[in-house]
Amino acid sequence: MLLARGFEVRALDNFSRGSRDTLGGVDVEVVDADIRDEDALARAFEGVDTVAHLAAFGSVVESVADPVENFDVNVRGTLVVLRAAAAAGVEKFVFASTGGAIMGNARPPVDETTLPWPISPYGASKLCGEAYCHAFAGSFGLATVALRFANVYGPISAHKKGVITNFVTQALRGRPIIVYGDGSATRDFLYVDDLCEGICAAVGAPLADEVVHLASGRETSISELAELILSLTDADVPIRYEDRRPGEVERTFARPERAAELLRFAPAHTLTEGLRKTVEWFAEREATTSSVA
């Protein structure tokens, strides 16, 4: 999407979870490095106008199991990236934050005025990242925009340790779907193409120090999600309920009005439409994997 808008793009990744294959055929320069490598960042940011910082230790559950590594990647790593951006004369910094994890168990719908109160190390680390963005805008004149992502889903997400990846994979393999809790927990799901449109809009918008929720504005229960995925996959498997996991919020969805105002952001996909595309991608991947095996 950035290439289509006329940008030259350089991608920095340590490929600890992603794959170079996803960049196949895309005209970008690839830098294989960790965001905590100051020398690599200094080289990568030469001649760069805008940084979109999407790298993260991105799992709530894993952050509870290993809060120190989560802190090192998400807090120290973000500080290293911000320092490198400021030193290189970068003009714009777009930061991938989070919606539900940073808000904790605030009564939904939340918006940019809701008091953040994270209950997981992951949410706390992203709140720290937002604070450092604000500090660098104030102290170093670096224009920053923190985007609070809803729960993102879509094709090319087999590496993602999220509920949709898990449910779709289990259903396609004929295995039971496991729900942690009683299924009444809710989330705000956003299709990946819509998210990327929002990121591109933030790159181009004349904003200097903002926090914006990128969300669908729709609350979906985990039970509702499981039933929808079973319908789209035609899977006849049971839904099993187990104890809820620590650090995960009960209910969350966000108001998208500020994103509409500042970024002209409006999701184009309903949950059913986005899930159908997602299921098709996973089904094709499962078929390819099975034939190879």
- The answer to whether residues 251 and 219 touch, using CB atoms and an 8 Å cutoff, is yes
Which residues, 6+ apart, have CB-to-CB distance to 177 below 8 Å? Answer: 166, 167, 170, 171, 226, 229, 230, 237, 238, 239, 240
Question: 200: helix, coil or strand?
Answer: helix
DSSP letter at 129 equals H
3-state secondary structure of 1: coil
One-letter-per-residue 3-state SS of 70-92: HHHHHHHHHHHHHHHHHHCCCCE
Per-residue confidence (pLDDT) for residue 118, from 0 to 100: 97
Per-residue pLDDT of the chain (293 residues; tens, 9 = 90+): 999 999 999 999 999 988 888 888 899 999 999 999 999 999 999 999 999 999 999 899 999 999 999 999 999 999 999 999 999 999 999 999 999 999 999 999 999 999 999 999 999 999 999 999 999 999 999 999 999 999 999 999 998 888 999 999 999 999 999 999 999 999 999 999 999 999 999 999 999 999 999 999 999 999 999 999 999 999 999 999 999 999 999 999 999 999 999 999 999 999 999 999 999 999 999 988 766 55
Say which residues have a Cβ less than 8 Å from residue 209's Cβ, sequence separation at least 6. 133, 134, 137, 138, 143, 144
Coil, helix or strand at residue 103: helix
Q: Which of 124, 123, 76, 73 has the alpha carbon at shortest distance from 100? A: 123
In the chain, where the domains are located: 3-292
Tokens of 69: 């590594």
**Residues with Cβ within 8 Å of residue 172, at least 6 apart in sequence:** 233, 235, 279, 282, 283, 286
Exposed/middle/buried for residue 169 (C-beta within 10 Å: 0-12, 13-18, 19+): middle
Catalytic residue among 122, 132, 153, 191: 122
**Cα radius of gyration (the chain):** 19
CA separation for the pair 102, 123 (Å, rounded): 4
Active site residue 122: yes
Q: Which residues are within 8 A (CB) of 11 and not within 5 positions of it... i.e. 6 or more apart?
A: 23, 28, 29, 30, 31
pLDDT at position 14, please?
96
User: Residue 58's CB: how many other CB atoms inside 10 A?
Assistant: 23
Q: Spell out where the chain has E strands.
A: 10-13, 29-32, 50-53, 92-98, 143-149, 151-153, 177-180, 186-187, 189-191, 209-214, 220-221, 239-242
3-292: CATH topology is Rossmann fold (3.40.50)
